[in-house]
Amino acid sequence: MSNELPGHGGSNLPAEEPIPNPGLPEHTWRPTDIDEAAEKRAERQIAAMYLLSMVCVVLFVITYFVADVGDNWNTILGLGASTVGLGVFLGLALLLIGAGTIQWARKLMSDVEMVEMRHPARSSDEDREATLAALSAGGEDSGIARRPLVRNTLLASLGLLGAPAVVLLRDLGPTPSQAAEADYPGAGLEKTVWTPGMRVVRDVVGTPIKASDLEIGDLVNAEPEAIFPTEENGYPELHGAELLIAKSKAAVIVVRMEPESIIPGENRDNWSVDGIVCYSKICTHVGCPISLYERTTHHVLCPCHQSTFDLADSGRVVFGPAGRHLPQLPLAVDEEGYLVAQSDFTEPVGPTYWERDHKDIGDQGEADL
Amino acid sequence: MRILNLTAGRLSRHRRGPIAGALLLLLGLVTAGGLYTAVMTPASAERTQDLASQVEEGRKLFLVGCSTCHGTNGEGITTDRGNNLGPSLVGVGAAAVDFQVGTGRMPMAQPGAQAPRKDVAYSEEETAALAAFVASLGPGPAIPDESDYSIEGLDSAAQEAAIVRGGQLFLTNCTACHNFEGSGGAMPRGGYAPKIRGVEPKYIYEALLTGPQTMPTFSNGNLTPDEKRDIIAYLGSLDDAAAIGGFTMGGLGPVAEGLFAWVVGIGALVGFAVWIAAHTTRSNKKKVEA
């Protein structure tokens, strides 16, 4: 009988079974095993699923070419027709192949219990001895123990293969010192494009900010004027990566608060203008741009890891993983009343890096780092 | 067609009597003057009187509904521990009142980190009266006119340009708190920046002007009125746009989408597998040996 457990072959089993082997319960048959019509029907169902899957793939391709995207999206039920069509048809195509295959396995493939005895994982003693003998014979043959010169030069040559990787990885980008030597304004990690007397302008529109125009509570997302060069201001045109680097390092937020709420920092008495202060927009933790500012508390919060800085208190870290206060840009006004920078930032903006000087931690104790 | 028509007025000049011009001038002056005295002066006086009574009515409403926290003269109340029970309303202007009361944020149900939008407690006339009273405390931003925040008057190219510029300004100035599609976001100490999609343009404009709760202000010296109008136009264009990327799931980004994929997507797969395994294809029929 096919539904009875085959005899045990292992030598570990006792010669006589303590209790009689009950065997497997009697096999119950599926309709498709008994009824030929049911079998044919299952076959047709499975083929129909595979055919439907093909139809879905064709519809996917048709959707890809027919549904309009770009400036003039087709929509279906307020959703993008292309997105919905591609997703639904590819999903159905895969689902129908899967469902058809499961149907095949369950209804038509052999349904009889089969037992395959597991062989021991350990090799036989003869195989183990033969392998060891072959290994030692090979070692003897190559003479790796007798010829230290060959062995040592091989090891050295393999070790030196690490050098190309080191050189290639090193040249993936400029080192901090190479970046600092590049000949565009504000190159390097320690400097930005800000220069003494450069106007603070609004981001996007590039218009200068009159100190008297700002009201208490205002927040301006700003950039240096050099990002928006015109014939009038005479700054050189920046392009491509240089522009992006300059913009990302020099971005600032300008806020105006009640002048008496500012706690003057050491040597920072004249860095603000009538309660207007300016800080780097780049979080000192891992460099997210931050402008999540609360007018009432003067706190600015980084949405990435919740570092919180107090803009009334020299950008001090009041919460979160940031190790350094937010760099402040010293502000002044020019003769026309527009906000200008007194100088570049007095410390590198953005996150800490390997070569950064650790002495200028200022208000953060070593324990905070 | 002649470029310069020098004789076009000849016929009418021949028709006119010698004193017609003087008479016409006199008639015009009398009509204008009469109309001014008849209509303008009493109306203007009425308005002044109206404003005075509106402020008085607003003061009465204020004393009942607002003075507990903001003080009887809107000067604000500081608790013994130095906390602000209600800030001073001197100089916040009519726009702040119209926003706070008009959206139901004020009066607050209870003090707390957030003043949520809720059912409006005052009628439009009462809100206007409160706004008139608070505006009388000190100069502040007035309630904006519809022409300030609508791009209806522009031609289609200018409307398109306004929406594009508004989008850039929105991404620079607003997304940090209100999310990249205006769905709002979490703020420190249990507060949140509210969803700003589907909010009436007037209230967005007023919020930018006055900085409700902890929001910084975007005064006209910060973002010009046209820039504020463009941001509002961009937000409106977001509402009109179809969700071409599929369901937005609140527009909260990878958290909402990941949660959906893990819970609903993988959950459906697990359920499907259980369903397949739980249904046997066996029957109790016996195979007839051929």
pLDDT tens, position by position, B160-213: 999 999 999 999 999 999 988 898 888 888 889 999 998 999 999 999 999 998
Q: In the predicted model, is pLDDT for residue B290 greater than 80?
A: no
**Residue B9: band (very low, low, confident or very high) from pLDDT cuts 50, 70, 90:** very low
Distance from CA of A262 to the nearest CA of B (A): 17
Q: What does pLDDT average to over chain B? A: 84
Copy the structure tokens of residue A133: 């003998």
Q: Are A297 and B214 in contact (CB under 8 A)?
A: yes
A219 interaction partners in chain B (CB closer than 8 Å): 173, 216-218, 222
Taking a contact as any Cβ pair under 8 Å apart, which residues of chain A between 25 and 44 contact chain B?
A: 28-34
Q: Is A214 on the interface with B (CB under 8 A)?
A: yes
Phi, psi of A250, rounded to the nearest 5 degrees: -95, -5
Q: Which residue of A has its CA nearest to B220?
A: A213
Q: Are A299 and A339 in contact (CB under 8 A)?
A: no
Write down the pLDDT at residue A97: 97
Write down the pLDDT at residue B44: 60
Return the closest-CA partner of residue B227 out of B162, B272, B140, B288: B162
Average pLDDT estimate for B22-46: 70
Return the closest-CA partner of residue A358 out of A343, A346, A369: A369
Handedness of CA B68, B69, B74, B76 (dihedral sign): positive
Copy the structure tokens of residue B72: 């009887």
Instruction: Divide the 369 residues of chain A into consecutive groups of 10 and give the mean pLDDT of each group.
Output: 46 74 81 89 96 97 90 82 93 96 91 83 93 93 89 95 90 81 84 93 92 93 92 86 90 94 88 94 94 92 92 93 93 94 92 73 43
For residues A8 and B209, what is the distance between their CA atoms, to the nearest angstrom? 87
Average pLDDT estimate for B256-270: 93
Write down the pLDDT at residue A358: 59
Q: In the predicted model, is pLDDT for residue B38 greater than 90?
A: no
Q: Is A297 on the interface with B (CB under 8 A)?
A: yes
Burial label, A32 (beta-carbon count in 10 A; 0-12, 13-18, 19+): buried
Q: In the predicted model, is pLDDT for residue B13 greater than 70?
A: no
Contact A213 B222 (CB under 8 A): yes
**Which SS3 state, helix, strand or coil, does residue A49 take?**
helix
**Residue B97: band (very low, low, confident or very high) from pLDDT cuts 50, 70, 90:** very high
Q: Which residue of A has its CA nearest to B87?
A: A296
Write down the pLDDT at residue A236: 86
Pairing of strands A219-224, B84-86: unpaired
A29 interaction partners in chain B (CB closer than 8 Å): 282-283, 285-287
Contact A34 B218 (CB under 8 A): no
- Predicted complex ipTM exceeds 0.85: no
For residues A165 and B267, what is the distance between their CA atoms, to the nearest angstrom? 44
B244 interaction partners in chain A (CB closer than 8 Å): 69, 73, 75, 79-80, 82-83
B284 interaction partners in chain A (CB closer than 8 Å): 28
Phi, psi of B209, rounded to the nearest 5 degrees: -70, -40
Protein fold of A184-369: Rieske Iron-sulfur Protein (2.102.10)
Task: Give the CA angle between residues A244, A250, A252 to the nearest 5°.
Answer: 125
Whether the pTM exceeds 0.80: the reply is no
Q: Is B275 on the interface with A (CB under 8 A)?
A: no
Q: Which residue of A has its CA nearest to B286?
A: A29
Task: Give the CA angle between residues A340, A344, A350 to the nearest 5°.
Answer: 120
Handedness of CA B55, B59, B60, B66 (dihedral sign): positive
Write down the pLDDT at residue B5: 47
In one letter, which amino acid is B73?
N
Q: Is A355 on the interface with B (CB under 8 A)?
A: no
Contact A80 B244 (CB under 8 A): yes
Domain with CATH 2.102.10.10 in chain A: 184-369
For residues A22 and B16, what is the distance between their CA atoms, to the nearest angstrom? 131
Write down the pLDDT at residue B278: 86
Cross-strand partners of A341: A331
Summarize pLDDT for B123-174 with one digit per residue, the tens: 999 999 999 999 999 888 999 988 888 888 888 899 999 999 999 999 999 9
Q: Tokens 């003869």 sit at which residue?
A: A126
